[in-house]
A and B are shown apart, each in its own frame.
Chain A
């Protein structure tokens, strides 16, 4: 056991956890920790331009790698600026650790300069948080924070670090296995429940797999694919679940819910068994609850017991890690010699034909209008020219839904979007975090002209770290999604949704030393994307799209999911 400073101990803890990149912004309360980082070349620190972006970047890093992302913020405004990022990660169950500086312990509660009760502020939007007020607790607390962030249902964990603790001499104890009496997530499914679930699957003639972000978080894509293909069960994904099952597969019905496909919503309405894995029956998915999947028995797999029977009561709850539950379901069918898998498959044949008919009747589509740029076309071209292999981040709004509908995600951890909180300004910093984690991949932020301006300062971060993210702005000079609601439900009264002024994005990119490209006609789109992908630097593409294009299908809020407005 050796005496080192708190700052050295924190860096050692980060190394222990295998952290290689952190995102942050310095300030008085964390200056000692930054001083220590300067002598730690193994850790890359990415200096963002706003603390919100540090947290989003750590979140993007975590979504792409599956590891815990780390953000480092100073006390007071540094910490409060991070709150939107923390709440974003909380709603989407993303494992990140946020280290915040705090005023020295003797000053806490005295309204000291840059003091804020960040533990109090973030209590409802973190999985857990800590204020370290004793130097002897420092190391154990940081280790516990990482453990809590990545186990069970993952989530953000904040550790508030008073300046005197960072400067103090402390004993650095060896790592011991962490066991918290009050926190023991259930990973293994109950075999009795698995048995019940499999019997329901055997009885079903019109089953649907409804899968969400939990499948991605637990790395269960392979197991999901095995189950779906083994029994020919069609799959629909939530926004958070996109990529967990290959979007281009015959069994994929695409996304469900408010802007989901006609097929997915019809299939959920008519199915006789809904197998939900790692999804939480969000209001954007279910629409009017009384009419959601009324013909179906429901199996619900989730590691978080509070998700089960929260909105919809279920027949077979399974509290478990998604991967372990899917493995158990697969094993059940693999081990039953008396069951013919081919017979089971054939039971779903008629259902599958019905699904094909729906897909033919109402595929995802849009109306072409000569040389006008349709946003859906831009996304299709991005998909085509990146072979569907890019990491795609989005902001929030119409462009987000077009990205979800028209980019074919065939692998998990490729689509970064703020699903739960719906945070505009998420995409650019998340794409920077993702590109830092996977420099080998093309990283695209599909953005709107309104959203991009919420964290546009991060172009500087991307330029400083030579992080060649590509931004595609679907520019309609509107706050598009709100405008669409106003068009449909508020008699076209466009209250404060017209962006009457915006910067010249191409010139702005150039001002940052980046490349700016613009397309105003459909025939220019492909060339602009090709050029953007060809250069090894940050590129901002400005696509002037048809202004009043809407996102369809659309289930109006509070309506039944079969009441879709179509193109």
Chain B
């Protein structure tokens, strides 16, 4: 089963390598990983998607906690949360398809962020499923290049537990 872990880390050199080393060394799985500074520049937030049964997730959580640079680990899959991914797509935009691409992007509430004579670069954010959907729709038109972020997530309602 998939779990979304939100991990607060001391923003130190090498700290990401401690986390990824832990996963590779103990045979845990990372499906996606996203890390950036928080409001406090001394603290980073890492959102990590992993999978495993309850025992595995319990071990992952405890092992992460054991790292001296880890401040907090929350399995946000436990509660109600909002998750987002972003994709940048360079899509073919020839005379015949330019309007069609714009219509599709509009439906997905995406934006065109760069224009050239034969292509657009479009930006779409949303859930994993939505990103998959927009990619599938644009594929027949001609996707030239694609860059995706990992998933980030935040709990709904009150502050970080």
Contacts and interface: CB of A to CB of B under 8 A. Distances in A.
B8 to A, nearest CB: 8
B58 A309 contact: yes
Interface string A126-166: 01100101000000000000001000000000000000000
B14 A181 contact: no
Given A124-B25, A131-B13, A148 B68 contact: yes
A26 to B, nearest CB: 27
A361 interface: no
Contact of B71 (A123, A148, A181): A181
A306 B66 contact: yes
Between B21, B59, B66, B68, the greatest number of chain A beta carbons within 10 A of the residue's beta carbon is seen for B68
B91 to A, nearest CB: 40
A306 B55 contact: no
Interface residues of A, number: 19
A449 interface: no
Contacts of B10: 182
Contacts of A313: 55
B144 interface: no
Interface residues of B, number: 19
A283 to B, nearest CB: 15
A11 interface: no
Contact of A309 (B13, B55, B69): B55
A177 interface: no
Interface in B45-73: 55, 58-59, 62-63, 65-66, 68-71
A119 B18 CA distance: 10
Contacts of A128: 68
B17 interface: yes
Contacts of B65: 305
B55 A123 contact: no
A120, A131, A305, A306 pick with most chain B CB within 10 angstroms? A306
B59 A310 contact: yes
Q: Please report whether the interface of chain B is mostly helix, strand, loop or mixed according to DSSP.
A: helix
Nearest to A144: B68
A183 interface: yes
A133 B17 CA distance: 18
A304 interface: yes
A304 B59 contact: no
A123 B10 CA distance: 16
A40 to B, nearest CB: 29
A304 B66 contact: yes
A148 B66 CA distance: 12
B28 to A, nearest CB: 12
A306 B21 contact: no
Nearest to A123: B21
Interface in B76-93: none
Interface string B12-36: 0110011001100100000000000
B12 to A, nearest CB: 9
Contact of A119 (B14, B58, B66, B71): B14
B18 A306 contact: no
Contact of B68 (A120, A127, A309): A127
Interface of B: 10, 13-14, 17-18, 21-22, 25, 55, 58-59, 62-63, 65-66, 68-71
Given A123-B21, A182-B68, A310-B59, 11 more contacts: A120-B14, A123-B18, A124-B25, A127-B68, A180-B68, A182-B10, A305-B66, A306-B62, A306-B63, A309-B55, A309-B58
30 contacts: A119-B14, A120-B14, A120-B17, A123-B17, A123-B18, A123-B21, A124-B21, A124-B25, A128-B68, A131-B13, A131-B14, A133-B13, A148-B68, A180-B68, A181-B71, A182-B68, A182-B69, A182-B71, A183-B68, A304-B66, A305-B62, A305-B66, A306-B59, A306-B62, A306-B63, A306-B66, A309-B55, A309-B58, A310-B59, A313-B55
- Sort A-B residue pairs by CB-CB distance and give the 3 closest, nearest first: A128-B68, A306-B62, A182-B71
